[in-house]
A and B are shown apart, each in its own frame.
Chain A
Amino acid sequence: MNKGVQKNRLSLGAVANLAVKPEPVSAGQLAIDRIFVKKQVRRALGDLAGLAQSIRDKGEIHTALLVHEEPDGRYRLIAGHRRLAAAPEAGLNKVPVKIYRDQSELQIRALQVSENMDRDELSAYDQAIGVIEDIASYGMEEARRIWNQSDKKKPGKSLQSESWMSKRVAVSRYAEPVLALLMNGACEDFEVLHSLNQLYGMAPREFDALAERCGGDNPPTRDETRAKVASVKEWLARQEPGGSPAELLGGQEAGGESEALEVDGEDGQAGTDAKPRAVSQKQKGPKKTGAASRADLARELANTRSAVIGSGERVGARFGDLMVGMQTLNLDLAEGEWVLWQSFVSTVGPVIAQLGKSRGRAYLERLGKQLRGNDSAASVDALLKELGADKDAPADMPKGWTF
């Protein structure tokens, strides 16, 4: 009896619940042609040439393959697909095996999974596919048993956790581009993938930006993707109830305003010929996706934006007047600062009120960052150009721009 072994502090109840691994009946060398492969957990075998070379170098396969003795005398491979496939190339016609007998399909599956998991042979994608198939074949509870991993902190554990399982089940709902990331190994973090999947559904361009970074030097983190999903959701939610952007622009009908913005006719519209028009167009039905109405909506949006840009310029001009006026009044330092500060807050305040606190803060922070880098302020125009707010700034979004 082995007395040197750690004498567990587990309770007897916990011991009695430990999962029991089946034992091989025998071990030895088996001719390759007596082993057949029924079904694989892995999709692809990867680089066999490298494995074959390593077997050649060692002169043998070091770890035994697991096989199951079938009633008809053949041997079914349980685990070791790569080694089996590489063996002929390595010049072997026999492989070392551990032979199991009288195991049910479920037990064979459990052996297969636990062997592959122990050897880290399953990619995240393989795990997900395996889990999904096993739930379909055996039901959730047995699948949790199959995919159980021992945990030093929880010695009595016999079932895989529900959250571990559900992260992998979620893969069956992934959009194609998200699945592609997983299959290629570009992203193997299920939480990030889940966020990316949500993003794909809501804001494909945001998704593209983050997806591109996967697998590179600066992959998106969980926090980052989650935050992005939250901000997109917030943006969408802030639209009118019933909420798509199309509705917002087109849906203001009877009883609503007839104009989107007040127009200060004095100064006219800088930089554009279009006049702001009544936004209320009689849209039939909430979501028209025809090409024609899209063009209408785009025009409306452009008009509204021009109006906003125009009013921004007017406010700037007013501010300029203010500062000139202050100089003539000869205010002292504090009073002067007070006036400017108050005026600034009153100007920016309403905008922030519309944007909301978190976006407002994000915008101000970014603005602050951009200004900080530019202490050697040349002219105002140069600064404006820097901020992309000058008169000549293109109205259309630069390709691939994200905040």
Chain B
Amino acid sequence: MKTIAIANQKGGVGKTTICRNASFYGLDRGLRVLAVDLDPQRNFTKTLMAFREQNLGGEAAVPPSLTATRLFEKKASKLGPLDCGAGAALIAGERELVDVAGFGMDALHRPAERLASLAKSYDVCIIDTAPTLGKPLYAALIAADYVLCPCTMDQDAIDGLKDLLEDVERVRQLGWNPGLKTMGILANRVNKRRAFDRNALQDMREQLGDAVMGPVLFDRAATGYAKDRPVWRVQSGESQILAAKEMKAVCAEILRKANALGQEGNRS
């Protein structure tokens, strides 16, 4: 199982959007996907729940399952993630996640352990994080093989990026997850017509080189529609066609970089 954390300490840069679309792309390619939502806002969770309804019917009961806060507790839960059908499973986010802040520092390392015990059952794990420096974010960095940083072309987002990259370094240098790799920075919602955006993207590539991912997501209305499905299944229109193409390219690149592809067909 390859674990990818999606993180940026600025909100609204498109973390959850990437989580959603990358998960759907993985499923489309036949991978078993484990979605982990560490954001108390639960947007990623809502998408997976909607997906579940589509697959299992609106009446399907929701059995007790392993949820995000349980990942941090000392005593391992016996429950497993929630099956969402079509190869997807969910460790749901919840409001209680805010209580994790009060847990001891040992709690940072538990999600990594719990997820490791699930590794055989899934091909890729995608972790959504809250836009805050906090224990869940660090836990995600400790659990992940890769961290992807979506970033919009504004100064706050770029500053948040710097903080995040430093946190990545700290996790590595403290020995908490020396193998953590920065998959890259994903330029998101870039407005081609705005000079500021073009310049910011250019500067980013110059300063950070390969760290900036090749494919870029431009600002497309279609991306914002329909949170319960991938962009390429949103109602067709000019914006949607372009958005879909770009998003698929990005998702393909993400999974390729994570070496998660080539495991298709693991699902029965």
Q: Is A335 an interface residue when CB atoms closer than 8 A count as contact?
A: no
Take A2-B175, A3-B109, A20-B173 as given contacts and tell me if A12 and B134 are in contact as well, using a CB distance cutoff of 8 Å.
yes
Take A1-B116, A11-B105 as given contacts and tell me if A16 and B177 are in contact as well, using a CB distance cutoff of 8 Å.
no
Residues from 1 to 50 in A contacting B, C-beta threshold 8 Å: 1-3, 5-12, 15-16, 18, 20-21, 23
**Stretch from B163-171, B219-227, B234-242 at the A interface:** B163-171
Asked if A5 contacts B173 (CB within 8 A), the reply is no
- Residues from chain A with Cβ under 8 Å of B173 in the complex: 18, 20-21
Take A5-B174, A102-B209 as given contacts and tell me if A10 and B105 are in contact as well, using a CB distance cutoff of 8 Å.
yes
- Residues from chain A with Cβ under 8 Å of B109 in the complex: 3, 7
**10 shortest interchain CB distances as A-B pairs:** A5-B175, A20-B169, A20-B166, A1-B177, A18-B170, A1-B112, A2-B175, A2-B178, A16-B133, A7-B106
Asked if A20 contacts B177 (CB within 8 A), the reply is no
CA distance A102 to B211 in the complex (A): 12
Q: Is the interface of B mostly helix, strand, loop or mixed?
A: helix
CA distance A18 to B169 in the complex (A): 10
Within the complex, the shortest CB–CB distance from A26 to chain B, in Å, comes to: 12
Q: Which of B106, B173, B174, B209 lies at the interface centre, i.e. has the most chain A CB atoms within 10 A of its CB?
A: B174
Residues from 84 to 114 in B contacting A, C-beta threshold 8 Å: 105-106, 108-109, 112-113
20 A-B residue pairs with CB within 8 Å: A1-B116, A1-B142, A1-B143, A1-B176, A2-B176, A2-B177, A6-B175, A7-B108, A8-B105, A8-B174, A9-B105, A10-B105, A12-B108, A12-B138, A16-B170, A18-B173, A18-B174, A20-B170, A21-B173, A23-B169
CA distance A48 to B135 in the complex (A): 50
**What class of interface size applies to chain A in its complex with B?**
10 to 19
Within the complex, the shortest CB–CB distance from A25 to chain B, in Å, comes to: 10
- Residues from chain A with Cβ under 8 Å of B169 in the complex: 20-21, 23
Q: Which of B143, B175, B178, B208 lies at the interface centre, i.e. has the most chain A CB atoms within 10 A of its CB?
A: B175
> Quick one: CB contact mask for A89-101 with B, threshold 8 Å, 1 for yes?
0000000000001
Asked if B175 contacts A12 (CB within 8 A), the reply is no
Q: Is B262 an interface residue when CB atoms closer than 8 A count as contact?
A: no
- Residues from chain A with Cβ under 8 Å of B155 in the complex: none
CA distance A10 to B170 in the complex (A): 13
- Residues from chain B with Cβ under 8 Å of A12 in the complex: 105, 108, 133-135, 138
Q: Is the interface of A mostly helix, strand, loop or mixed?
A: loop
Q: Is B179 an interface residue when CB atoms closer than 8 A count as contact?
A: yes
- Residues from chain B with Cβ under 8 Å of A21 in the complex: 169, 173
CA distance A3 to B178 in the complex (A): 10
CA distance A159 to B262 in the complex (A): 48
Within the complex, the shortest CB–CB distance from A188 to chain B, in Å, comes to: 31
Asked if B167 contacts A16 (CB within 8 A), the reply is yes
Q: Name the residue of chain A whose CB is nearest to the CB of B109.
A: A7
Q: Name the residue of chain A whose CB is nearest to the CB of B166.
A: A20
Given contacts A1-B116, A3-B109, A10-B105, 8 further A-B contacts (CB under 8 A): A7-B105, A9-B105, A11-B105, A12-B133, A12-B135, A16-B167, A18-B170, A23-B172
> Quick one: CB contact mask for A216-254 with B, threshold 8 Å, 1 for yes?
000000000000000000000000000000000000000
- Residues from chain A with Cβ under 8 Å of B208 in the complex: 102
- Residues from chain B with Cβ under 8 Å of A15 in the complex: 138, 170, 174
Asked if A1 contacts B179 (CB within 8 A), the reply is yes
Q: Name the residue of chain B whose CB is nearest to the CB of A10.
A: B105
- Residues from chain B with Cβ under 8 Å of A101 in the complex: 209
- Residues from chain A with Cβ under 8 Å of B106 in the complex: 7
Within the complex, the shortest CB–CB distance from B234 to chain A, in Å, comes to: 37
- Residues from chain A with Cβ under 8 Å of B207 in the complex: 102
- Residues from chain A with Cβ under 8 Å of B116 in the complex: 1
- Residues from chain B with Cβ under 8 Å of A10 in the complex: 105
Residues from 358 to 399 in A contacting B, C-beta threshold 8 Å: none
Q: Name the residue of chain A whose CB is nearest to the CB of B170.
A: A18
Q: Name the residue of chain A whose CB is nearest to the CB of B207.
A: A102
Within the complex, the shortest CB–CB distance from A129 to chain B, in Å, comes to: 29
- Residues from chain A with Cβ under 8 Å of B135 in the complex: 12
- Residues from chain B with Cβ under 8 Å of A7 in the complex: 105-106, 108-109, 176
CA distance A305 to B105 in the complex (A): 76
CA distance A102 to B210 in the complex (A): 11
- Residues from chain B with Cβ under 8 Å of A20 in the complex: 166, 169-170, 173
Within the complex, the shortest CB–CB distance from B232 to chain A, in Å, comes to: 34
Within the complex, the shortest CB–CB distance from B257 to chain A, in Å, comes to: 18
> Quick one: CB contact mask for B254-266 with A, threshold 8 Å, 1 for yes?
0000000000000
CA distance A23 to B173 in the complex (A): 10
Q: Name the residue of chain A whose CB is nearest to the CB of B142.
A: A1
CA distance A15 to B134 in the complex (A): 11
CA distance A5 to B106 in the complex (A): 12
Q: Name the residue of chain A whose CB is nearest to the CB of B138.
A: A12
Within the complex, the shortest CB–CB distance from A2 to chain B, in Å, comes to: 5
Q: Name the residue of chain B whose CB is nearest to the CB of A6.
A: B175
CA distance A347 to B173 in the complex (A): 74
Within the complex, the shortest CB–CB distance from B106 to chain A, in Å, comes to: 6
CA distance A102 to B166 in the complex (A): 16
CA distance A1 to B207 in the complex (A): 30
- Residues from chain A with Cβ under 8 Å of B178 in the complex: 2
Within the complex, the shortest CB–CB distance from B137 to chain A, in Å, comes to: 9
- Residues from chain B with Cβ under 8 Å of A3 in the complex: 109, 113
Q: Name the residue of chain A whose CB is nearest to the CB of B113.
A: A3
Q: Name the residue of chain A whose CB is nearest to the CB of B143.
A: A1
Q: Name the residue of chain B whose CB is nearest to the CB of A16.
A: B133
Within the complex, the shortest CB–CB distance from A197 to chain B, in Å, comes to: 40
Q: Name the residue of chain A whose CB is nearest to the CB of B116.
A: A1
CA distance A2 to B138 in the complex (A): 15
- Residues from chain A with Cβ under 8 Å of B179 in the complex: 1-2
Residues from 161 to 211 in B contacting A, C-beta threshold 8 Å: 166-167, 169-170, 172-179, 207-209
CA distance A21 to B169 in the complex (A): 8
Within the complex, the shortest CB–CB distance from A71 to chain B, in Å, comes to: 11
- Residues from chain B with Cβ under 8 Å of A8 in the complex: 105, 174
